[in-house]
Structure 1
Amino acid sequence: MATSQVETVSTGADKAKLGAAIALVIAALAGFYLLGRQGQLAQWGALVLGLAAAFVVFMTAETGKQFVAFGRDSWKEVKKVVWPTRKESVQMTLYVIGFCAVMALFLWLTDKTLEWVFYDLILGWKK
C-alpha cells in the first residue's frame, strides 16, 4: 500500500501572516535606524520588540508550524546518531593530518620533478 504525502496549500491568511512578519522585520530594522537620536535603549528596544512580534506572527502561520515540526524531527534524528568516541575522533583526525602530509609531500616531489625535467633537462634553463 503506497502512502502519499499530503502537501498543504497556503491559505490567504497564512500568506497575510507571512507578509505581516516580513513587514514587522522591516519595521524593526527601520525603527532601529530611525531611532538613532533617541538613544540605544530605544533603538534596541524597537529592534527586539519588532523581531519578537515578527517571530510570534511567523509561528502562528502554517509555515512556522512546519518549521517547528521540522526542528523536532531533526532533533529526534540527531539523538539517533552514534557519535564517535574521543579515541576514534583523535585517530581519524590523525589519519586525515597524515594523509594531508603525505599528499603535500607527493605533490611537492611531483612539482620539483617536473620542474627539473622541463627546466633543466628539456629547456636547459639552469637556475
Structure 2
Amino acid sequence: MASTEIETVSPAADKARLAAAGVLALLGFVAYYLLGAQGAWVQWAALLLALAAGIGVGLTASPGQRLIAFGRDAVKEARKVVWPTRKEAAQVTGYVFAFVAVMAIFLWLTDKLLEWVLYGLILGWR
C-alpha cells in the first residue's frame, strides 16, 4: 500500500508573511519613484533594501522554506554529476558535428530525389 502525502493549506501566518513580503517589495518601488529628488543612490538603496527585506520575509514563510529546501536538494544533486573530461567532450562534439553533416547530406539528397520524381517524372516540368 502506497503512502500518500496530504498537503495542508498554509496557515494564516504564512499568508500574512507573503502579503508582507509583497507589500515591502511594492513599497520599494514606490520609494524609488518618490525619492527621485534625492538622487539615484538614495533611490536604488531604498529599492534594494525594500526588495531584500521582502525576500527575507518571504523566505520565512512555508513556501519560502520549501524553495530553500529545493535549492539545497538541487545543489546536492548537481554535486553528484560526473562531468566529462575534455577529451570525452571533444569526442562527443565531433560525433554530433559528423551526425549533423551526414543528416544534412541525407536530407539534401532526399529533397533532390523527390524534386526529380515530382517535377521531372510525374509533372514533366523539366
Give the TM-score normalised by the residue count of structure 2: 0.84
Residues 2/114 of structure 1: CA separation in 2 closer, same or farther (3 Å cut):
closer
Query: 2:46 matched to which residue of 1?
Result: 46
The superposition leaves residues 37-83 of structure 1 with CA deviations (integer Å, 9 ceiling, x where unpaired) of: 44321321122111111111012112212211211121111111211
2:95 aligns with 95
CA shift at 1:36, angstroms? 3.9
Question: 1:80-119 maps to which residues of 2 (within 5 A)?
Answer: 80-119=80-119
CA distance in 2, matches of 1:105, 1:33: 59
2:62 aligns with 62
Residue 14 of structure 2 aligns with an amino acid whose one-letter code is D
User: CA offset at residue 6 of structure 1?
Assistant: 6.1
* Larger displacement relative to structure 2 (32-41 or 88-97): 32-41
Identity %: 59
Deviation at 1:118, TM superposition (A): 1.0
- Mark the CA change 1:123 to 1:57 in structure 2 (over 3 Å): closer, same or farther: same
2-structure distance, mates of 1:8, 1:90: 50
**What's the counterpart of residue 24 of structure 1?**
24
Unaligned runs of 5+ in 1: none
Structure 1 vs Structure 2 CA RMSD: 2.1
